[in-house]
Structure 1
Amino acid sequence: MAWPLDAVLTAVLIAAPTLLAVLFLLLWLAARRRLRQLAGEQTASARARVDLELSVAEQGGRLRIIRELHDLALHRVTSMIADAEGARYASGTDPAAAIRAAATIAETGRAALADMRRVNSLVRETEADVLLQPTLKSTRDLFKIMRDAGLGVTFDESGEPYELSAGAELAIYRILQEALSNSLKWGGDGTEARVSFTWTSQGLQVRVDDDGIRNAAVRKGLDPDNGGAGYTVEDDLRTLTQEIIGPGIEEMRERTELFGGVFSASQTAGVGFSVSAVFPALRHHNGVHGVDLTRGGTR
């Protein structure tokens, strides 16, 4: 049976405001999500810019010192040449003057050598800074940077720490860097992240838990404690079945697997995100399936 035209028009007119409201709501939510993404990108860009500016300023200062010492060394060498010429001419008629000139040349040469050693030291320091890779000790600096950017970071450690290879320390640092950056990006200012290291006799578990979802709800003016976070039972089910993916997640997984570890990322509905990197045999891992190749099985 065909619907009367006037009834169809009436239904359309009644539904139109609702449809428009839903459309505007979707557009508004998409715009807010994009703004949060842009804010996170701007924060990361600002941190990178500050680090780059400090590095450039430091290297510029070293280059000025190197240039000044180089000019001074050139002046000393020029004086040595002049003194040597004078000593050569005086050697036939005034041996005493030639001896004094030789002593002056030796003193000037030692001073020039000292300047060149200073230049060499500065060059080596600059090269070391350029080639320097983060270590586990660098995580303290990373935590400070993230706190300055608005992320609350707490750290706890259990077990007995031991020395790791440079590659393993770099992998752990990059995992922490990516995880904390994601916490700030998705949760925004005020998000709290808890970093924990659990050392075992042969391995290490690195874990980062944040309350980014809860904090994002609070920033919107909602009350998570009274059901205001907006999540449902479906969200709880989704967290149990949905796999978290993304370029950053894949990079953390690859870095973990490179050292024989297992990586996982999960979401707690209404609370936040967690990442875990478990390295069962990190202490002796050497690229051969984690087999301990050290003499006598000890390090």
Structure 2
Amino acid sequence: MVLPDDVVPYALVIAGLVLVVVALVVVTVLAVRRARRLGAERTVNARARVDLELSVADQSGRLRMIRELHDLSLHRVTTMISDADGARYAGQTDPNAAVRAAGTISETGRTALADMRRVSLLVRESEAEIGLQPTLKSTRDLFAIMRDAGLTVIFERSGDPYQVTPGAELMIYRIMQEALSNSLKYGGEGTTARVAFTWTQDGFQARVDDDGFRNAAIRKGMDPTAPMSYTVEDDLHALTDEIVGPGIAVMRERAELYGGTLNVTQTPGVGFSISAVFPTLRHHNGVHGVDLSRGAAR
């Protein structure tokens, strides 16, 4: 069908207007979406700023308390030294005076030790509360992140969980983060990591077992149905060699802060196993895991 010559210009004009209208609609929609996104970002930034200001104020208060307790502890240690010198001279002529001085030194020492433990507790809590620090519940998000990165995470839990200090929660999270990162680093995508949390009456164990060796071999072309080959020498190295590295050293230091031990082993043909055991995590408070509530109840 051929349109008359006088109709063609009007059709072109109408088509152009339609295109302009469509373009304006698209631009308007995009502008509205951008405005909403910017508004949401401003709200999030405002909340983050308020949270940061509150956190800074809280940390400033903690630092002030730490400084005061530190100065008080220094004064008490100085007093202990002075009393000890006095007891040494008094003991030459009056043994009873030396005994009394020893009692005073002992009491001052216990008080100073209690203050230093409070300083340690404040420092740990401050470290755990800087910013939005992860908790044990955050491990679920960590598992999701590692799955998105290509790691298959299977989680199991046994025992009845109980509340631990924020610092202990952060410590467990960081150990899990490092362990799973190592599984992905050395095994590659497709590696399976089995994570197990075991709660006992007073203790806790976190364990990660992966199949990184096998998965790395499969990625290089090994038949997935074929058994993994390894030698007696491989078994010997697995039993005798100490597995070291910067990440493992940091995990071990974190575990020791809360009375725990970290063990890293390898199974030839399978992968690595990392186990962090905390016999007294429930009551760990800077006093070697002593349940202080028992003494208070007497």
Shorter-chain TM-score bucket reads 0.5 to 0.7
Measure, in 2, the Cα distance between the counterparts of 1:217 and 1:202.
41
* Equivalence for 2:148: 148
Contact kept in structure 2, 1:252 and 1:263, CA below 8 Å? yes
66 and 260 in structure 1: CA distance in 2 versus 1, 3 angstrom threshold: closer
Detail structure 1 runs of 4+ shifted over 3 Å in the superposition. Answer: 60-67, 125-130, 223-227, 295-298
Give the AA of the match of 2:172.
I
Structure 2 vs 1, CA of residues 291 and 66 (structure 1 numbering), >3 Å: closer, same or farther? Answer: closer
Please give the residue correspondences for 1:260-299 in structure 2 after superposition, counting only pairs within 5 Å: 260-294=259-293, 296=295
Partner of residue 123, structure 1: 49
Cα deviation for residue 64 of structure 1 reads 3.4
- Residues 249-268 of structure 1 aligned to structure 2 (within 5 Å): 249-268=248-267
How far apart in 2 are the matches of 1:126 and 1:61? 20
Question: Please, which of 64, 85, 96 is the counterpart of residue 42 of structure 2?
Answer: 64
Matches within 5 A, 1:1-299: 64-65=42-43, 123-125=49-51, 127=53, 131-223=131-223, 226-227=226-227, 229-294=228-293, 296=295
Contact conserved, 1:224 with 1:270, CA < 8 A, in 2?
no
TM-score, normalised via structure 1 length: 0.58
Aligned residues of 1:281 and 1:290 also touching (Cα < 8 A): yes
- Structure 2 vs 1, CA of residues 145 and 63 (structure 1 numbering), >3 Å: closer, same or farther? closer
Q: Over aligned residues, Cα RMSD in angstroms? A: 2.6
User: What is the rounded CA distance, in whole Å, between the counterparts of 2:44 and 2:153 in structure 1?
Assistant: 40
CA contact (8 A) 1:208 1:276 kept: yes
Whole-angstrom distance in 2 between the partners of 1:295 and 1:61: 54
Which residue identity does 2:50 align to in structure 1? R
Q: Specify every segment of 5 or more residues in structure 2 that has no aligned partner in the other structure, as ranges.
A: 1-37, 56-128
> Taking structure 1 as reference, are residues 231 and 297 closer, same or farther at Cα in structure 2, changes over 3 Å only?
farther
Alpha-carbon offset, residue 126 of structure 1: 5.0
Q: What amino acid maps onto 2:223 in structure 1?
A: D
In structure 1, runs of 5+ residues without a counterpart are: 1-59, 68-118
The number of aligned residues is 187
Alignment partners' CA distance in 2, 1:61 and 1:287 = 46
CA distance in 2, matches of 1:283, 1:257: 15
Q: 1:65 to 1:278 in 2, by over 3 A?
A: closer
Give 1:66 deviation, angstroms.
Answer: 9.1
Q: Tell me by how many angstroms 1:226 deviates.
A: 3.5
Measured after TM superposition, the shift of residue 62 of structure 1 is 6.8
Using the TM superposition, give the Cα deviation of residue 125 of structure 1 relative to its aligned residue in structure 2, in angstroms. Answer: 3.6
Per-residue CA distance 1:215-256 (angstroms, 9 max, x = gap): 0111111136544x3421110111000110000100110111
Cα deviation, residue 132, structure 1: 1.3
Percent same amino acid among aligned pairs? 66
Local SS of the residue matching 1:140: helix
Moved more, 273-282 or 122-131: 122-131
Question: CA 1:243–1:170 in structure 2 vs 1: closer, same or farther (change >3 Å)?
Answer: same
Deviations 1:24-73 (A, max 9, x none): xxxxxxxxxxxxxxxxxxxxxxxxxxxxxxxxxxxx86773599xxxxxx
Pair 61,151 (structure 1): closer, same or farther in 2 beyond 3 Å: farther
Alpha-carbon distance in 1 for matches of 2:143, 2:224: 27
Deviation at 1:123, TM superposition (A): 3.4
* 3-state SS of 2:230 partner: coil
SS of aligned partner of 1:217 = helix
Superposition deviation, residue 287 in structure 1: 1.3
Question: Relative to 1, partners in 2 of residues 1:297 and 1:186: Cα closer, same or farther, differing over 3 Å?
Answer: farther
d(CA) in 2 for partners of 1:185 and 1:66? 33
Shift of 1:297: 6.7
Give the Cα separation in 1 of the matches to 2:143 and 2:230.
Answer: 30
- Structure 1 residues 269 and 65, CA gap change in structure 2 (3 angstroms): closer
Q: State how far apart, in whole Å, the 2-side matches of 1:266 and 1:297 are.
A: 41
